[in-house]
Structure 1
Amino acid sequence: MSIDQTLGQTNAEPEVIAVLLGQHTRVKHLFAQVNSATGEAKQSLFDDLRELLAAHETGEEVVLRPVSQQAAGEGVAEAHNAEEKEANKVLAELERLDVNSGDFDARFAEFEKAVLAHAEHEENEEFPAVRARCSEEELQQMGKRLLKAEKSAPTHPHPSAAGSPTGQRVAGPFAAMVDRVRDAL
């Protein structure tokens, strides 16, 4: 599956919340697929999930969070950034484990619960506030910026930059370049 398909790009004028909701659906689907797969298929599906989550969280932190900070409040934005920073740490730990091990399965189950709870918090707290604050045109502009940010986002977790829009803007492009070379090798 191409990164554009995975990231939810479906039309010429993406609306940021619709794109993010589509990605949340894709994340849930990938969790289910990883849980039911074995061997190389499980590794491949986990790699797809890892890449989607890394890009998705980067896009949210760079494009959505500055707006949600104003729309939903600084506390909501900071809480979501903190959850994403923790998720990046766990994702990096999972990446080092054998996907066919019991350790991976146990840690992955905890990670799934945390990620799905995080997505639910965004959908209930953050997304409605951003929609209420922004015009349709602003939401579409944010959607375009989100997809652009995700295309140049890292494909692996980078906990040192996670949870910080500034950290993502500064370290993200370099980390993405390193990740793409790493993926090619």
Structure 2
Amino acid sequence: MGHGGNVFEELMADHREVEEIFGRIQAMTVQGQGLRDLVDEVTIELVRHSVAEEQHLYPAVREYVEGGDRLADKELADHGRVENLLKQLERMDTEDPQMSPVLQQLMDEVAAHVEDEENNLFPMLRQACSSEMLGDLGDRVRRAKAMAPTRPHPSAPDTPPANKLLAPGADLVDRARDFVTGRGRS
């Protein structure tokens, strides 16, 4: 969950982790509980990552990067599409014929988002902020991920201050549901 380093090192480690889970999903030859476990694992990682970016990365982009409002709004729209796909997957049985196309759409959306962040957004923020600021931002992102919900909540606010106020409550409910169902333990 927490990788260490500045905000870019932290978020890029998350990106690689999600790509690795997607690779395991693509390598599967049978569906069933194994696929459900991997979909749950990638959902947990993507939701925590998104919440942390929404609470800390995008506000920094708005504040320090020229044209930051437009950039942050585009990234939030990407998150909205991903979160809706995660919600669809959460409700699907692994034998559903739509599971594979929705998973592929999710992988495509996430890949495009990651490429855009790493090639465009991150370099702009790196140029606008000191290394100390980027290190502090990494610490804040790690703390946010530790307290973030584990399930998609597409209708939840995605901008401060509302997202920072509601995320801890959603986290408690999500973790209680996860504990009861055993989700995320494999």
Fold conserved (TM > 0.5)?
A: yes
1:65 equivalent in structure 2: 58
Q: Which runs of structure 1 show a deviation greater than 3 angstroms over 4 or more consecutive aligned residues?
A: none
1:139 equivalent in structure 2: 134
Between stretches 20-29 and 30-39, larger displacement belongs to: 30-39
1:87-166 map, 5 Å: 87-161=82-156, 163-166=158-161
Unaligned runs of 5+ in 2: 181-186
Q: Output the CA distance in 1 between the equivalents of 2:81 and 2:137.
A: 25
2:10 equivalent in structure 1: 19
Instruction: Report the alpha carbon displacement of residue 121 of structure 1 after superposing the two structures with TM.
Output: 1.0
What's the TM-score once normalised by structure 2's chain length? 0.89
Unaligned runs of 5+ in 1: 1-6
Asked if 2 retains the 8 angstrom alpha-carbon contact of 1:56 and 1:150, the reply is yes
Give the share of equivalent positions with the same residue, in percent.
31
Q: Output the CA distance in 2 between the equivalents of 1:96 and 1:30.
A: 20
Instruction: Report the alpha carbon displacement of residue 167 of structure 1 after superposing the two structures with TM.
Output: 3.5
Q: Does residue 31 of structure 1 match 2:26?
A: no
Asked if 1 retains the 8 angstrom alpha-carbon contact of 2:157 and 2:163, the reply is yes
2:184 equivalent in structure 1: none
Number of equivalences: 176
| 1:120-174 residue CA offsets vs partner (Å, 9 max, x unmatched) | 1111221111111111111111111100000000000011125434332122111
Letter of the aligned partner of 1:115 in structure 2? V
Instruction: Report the alpha carbon displacement of residue 39 of structure 1 after superposing the two structures with TM.
Output: 2.3
Letter of the aligned partner of 1:157 in structure 2? P
Asked if 1 retains the 8 angstrom alpha-carbon contact of 2:3 and 2:13, the reply is no
What's the TM-score once normalised by structure 1's chain length? 0.89
2:81 equivalent in structure 1: 86
Match of 1:53 among 25, 39, 46: 46
Instruction: Report the alpha carbon displacement of residue 36 of structure 1 after superposing the two structures with TM.
Output: 2.3
Taking a change above 3 Å as real, the CA distance of residues 76 and 144 of structure 1, as seen in their structure-2 partners, is same
Letter of the aligned partner of 1:17 in structure 2? F
Q: Output the CA distance in 1 between the equivalents of 2:58 and 2:174.
A: 24
- SS of the equivalent of 1:102 reads coil
| 1:46-93 residue CA offsets vs partner (Å, 9 max, x unmatched) | 111000000000000101001111315210111101110121111111
Asked if 2 retains the 8 angstrom alpha-carbon contact of 1:54 and 1:155, the reply is yes
Q: Output the CA distance in 1 between the equivalents of 2:56 and 2:19.
A: 22
